[in-house]
Chain A
Amino acid sequence: MTPVLEVDRLVKHFPILRGILRRPVAWVRAVDGVSFAIAPGETLCLVGESGCGKSTVARLVLRLDEPTGGAIRLDGTDVTGLDEREFAPFRRRVQMVFQDPYASLNPRLKVGQIVGEPLENYEGLRGKALEERVAGLLAKVGLRPEGVGRYPFEFSGGQRQRIGLARALALNPKLIVADEPVSALDVSVQAQVLNLMMDLQEEFGLAYLFVSHDLAVVEHIGHRIAVMYLGEIVEIGPKQVVLDEPKHPYTRALVAAAPIPDPRAKRDTLVLEGDVPSPLNPPAGCRFHTRCPFVMDRCREETPRLREVSPGRQAACHLLEA
């Protein structure tokens, strides 16, 4: 089956401009050669800490930023070179849900307008037909029909995220890119939104590119997980194997650092020292070598490549070479 999304050696470098001529003096290597594919109906989670490039990948897929290199294929078609008009038919296949439900809805539009706008623009719906579709969408995400005439500020954070989902669903997309969609929500509400997203996936056969820093959330909603560190994928594979038996030392450290809501739980004592280095001058060799407890001389010089380390799972680490 053709993947709904295929990202091939994707690169995004942001210039740091200085002086009156605004010349680039350095480059932030936010995304540096990332490849993955998402099958229809599948959820791929991108995880990692701040600055690892996971949100930039999401923005590139949505074409909110232009990649510096590499290809993005939607249903097999390379869309990287397309201009806005050529891209328009693809736009409706890929929709988005953002982290901050307060900032991502226009405060001056009523919910009916917010959810109806894509239908007006892409399907030319008006009047009664539009109203019916909007009411149907609100019902799908668990909002009451009266919500149509209200403004975003009249809703709680969880309800706003439902509005965002209704808007994303309006054009029957095949893929929804969700960037930390539940991080701003309290846990009891977070559960409501995660359940809803899983229900919608089942009903509409949606694929998700789900960006999150929370491994427990990712384990719950994901099918496969890609762990990013400083612009690169260090491990990717089915969620169970990646989280239960992490192969890359960074994945292991991430799993070990996630607080366990059980005072009796046995804890992995692996603690990383220091902070994530700046993506401005990522370390040579393996980018994780400055914090890796198992670092060898080779790691400082030679960049490890992603290779298959168990069925369907790849990791990039010299330690894993037999």
Chain B
Amino acid sequence: MTETAPILEVLDLRTHFFTQDGVTRAVDGVSFSLAPGETLGIVGESGCGKSVTALSILRLLPPKLSRIVGGRVVFEGTDLLTLHEPAMREIRGNRIAMIFQEPMTSLNPVLTIGEQIAEAVRIHQGASRKEALARAVEMLKLVRIPDAERRVGDYPHQFSGGMRQRVMIAMALSCNPKLLLADEPTTALDVTVQKQILRLMLELKERIGSAVILITHDLGVIAETAKRVVVMYAGRVVEQAEVTALFDAPLHPYTRGLMASIPRLKHNRTRRLAEIPGIVPDLRTPIPGCAFAPRCPLATDRCREAAPSLDDHGGGHFAACWEAGRA
């Protein structure tokens, strides 16, 4: 980790959903921090709370259904959770931008690409209509959309999936954000296009100097892009480490299980894949101990009774496990 002050610090974040069937603890005490310009990967399976964490940072969750019930989100020294909505709007799309999984549903189908990119520039940077449109063309060139001057007047449906995700990146980076949240940005794309988009995103992030939080379920994408990784399970952080340390020697049994269960190309030719038995817990029931205990091969009574804290096991490799390092 770097010595400079973090650009983002998430401290004991708790986000709950209030449904007819009870309270779902989607994010249950998540903490991590991010240095300026750093790429942090958040990895976990469906329902682990990785997307809700991102949406909580930007306060984009539906207010009637959900509430951030605790914690702090300190961005450039300010706790975003204390800001009024107008102040928050100044930050969204400007200092912090977000890219979503499905570019078709996150673009407005009745506005041209140019108008959508220009909107953010006009609102946040006070640019005139003409200046903003020129900026849109510039951004489209930056994300290598051929024939940008003409395509700026096209509608989202006239672009392919990969091109739309380029447009999303152009839009997100148009105000030179300090932090970019990318939630499964390439999951809807084909692999050959995924590779182009990930490269482009990392290259532009370097140029603009933004920090990136990349959220994904794909350990391969994490290994190829992130510098540091947060592993989430059932709304909690179970492990956090530098990417090489994590892949060389995962400490948490969940991370180990996850890594053993993925088929690897040209790697393991074993007949069977390791399985993680069972399924993820229901987050409507409070879990007093470790959330992974019911599926964990190392679980003891202590694991079922008390939740382990996220401790440093040396060299900035954190794990929340009573038995970390055993076996």
Residues of A within 8 A of B (CB): 49-50, 156, 158-159, 186-192, 194-195, 198, 213-217, 219-220, 243-244, 253-265, 267, 271-273, 275-276, 291
Q: For B263, list chain A residues within 8 Å (CB).
A: 191, 194, 214, 216-217, 219-220
Residues of B257-281 whose CB lies within 8 A of A: 257-259, 261-267, 271-276, 279
Q: In the assembly, what is the distance between CA of A188 and CA of B233, in Å?
A: 12
> Given known contacts A186-B217, A262-B223, is B265 in contact with A257 (CB within 8 Å)?
no
1/0 per position for B65-83, CB-CB distance to A under 8 A?
0000000000000000000
User: A275's closest neighbor in chain B, by CB?
Assistant: B160
Contact A276 B262 (CB under 8 A): no
Contact A49 B273 (CB under 8 A): no
Q: Of the listed stretches B13-21, B50-58, B187-195, name the one at the interface; the rest are far from the partner chain.
A: B187-195
Q: In the assembly, what is the distance between CA of A194 and CA of B273, in Å?
A: 8
User: A256's closest neighbor in chain B, by CB?
Assistant: B195
Q: In the assembly, what is the distance between CA of A33 and CA of B271, in Å?
A: 34
User: A276's closest neighbor in chain B, by CB?
Assistant: B190
> Given known contacts A219-B263, A263-B247, is B275 in contact with A257 (CB within 8 Å)?
no
Count of CB-CB pairs between chains A and B under 8 Å: 121
Residue from B161, B199, B244, B275 within 8 A of A191 (CB atoms): B275
Residues of B177-229 whose CB lies within 8 A of A: 190-196, 199, 217-224
CB distance from B253 to the nearest CB of A (A): 12
User: B273's closest neighbor in chain A, by CB?
Assistant: A191
CB distance from B171 to the nearest CB of A (A): 19
Q: In the assembly, what is the distance between CA of A253 and CA of B265, in Å?
A: 14
Q: For B244, list chain A residues within 8 Å (CB).
A: 263-264
Contact A198 B46 (CB under 8 A): no
CB distance from A63 to the nearest CB of B (A): 28
Does B163 make an interface contact (CB < 8 A)?
yes
- 19 A-B pairs within 8 Å (CB atoms) are namely A49-B190, A49-B192, A49-B193, A187-B261, A188-B275, A192-B275, A194-B263, A195-B273, A195-B275, A198-B271, A213-B190, A214-B263, A216-B264, A253-B192, A259-B223, A260-B220, A261-B222, A265-B223, A275-B163
Contact B265 A258 (CB under 8 A): yes
> Given known contacts A216-B263, A265-B223, A275-B162, is B190 in contact with A186 (CB within 8 Å)?
no
> Given known contacts A49-B192, A254-B192, is B265 in contact with A189 (CB within 8 Å)?
no
Q: In the assembly, what is the distance between CA of A190 and CA of B263, in Å?
A: 9
> Given known contacts A244-B266, A261-B259, is B195 in contact with A271 (CB within 8 Å)?
yes
Q: In the assembly, what is the distance between CA of A243 and CA of B262, in Å?
A: 17
Residue from A256, A259, A275 within 8 A of B218 (CB atoms): A259
User: Besides A195-B272, A260-B223, A276-B190, 11 other CB < 8 A contacts?
Assistant: A49-B190, A187-B258, A191-B263, A191-B274, A195-B275, A198-B272, A215-B191, A257-B195, A259-B195, A260-B224, A261-B222
Q: For A254, list chain B residues within 8 Å (CB).
A: 191-192
Q: In the assembly, what is the distance between CA of A264 and CA of B223, in Å?
A: 8
Does B321 make an interface contact (CB < 8 A)?
no
Does B303 make an interface contact (CB < 8 A)?
no
CB distance from B264 to the nearest CB of A (A): 6
User: B259's closest neighbor in chain A, by CB?
Assistant: A261
> Given known contacts A198-B272, A216-B265, A220-B263, is B217 in contact with A187 (CB within 8 Å)?
yes
Residue from A159, A188, A198 within 8 A of B261 (CB atoms): A188
Does B230 make an interface contact (CB < 8 A)?
no
Contact A255 B265 (CB under 8 A): yes
Residues of B277-327 whose CB lies within 8 A of A: 279
CB distance from A157 to the nearest CB of B (A): 8
Q: In the assembly, what is the distance between CA of A258 and CA of B264, in Å?
A: 10
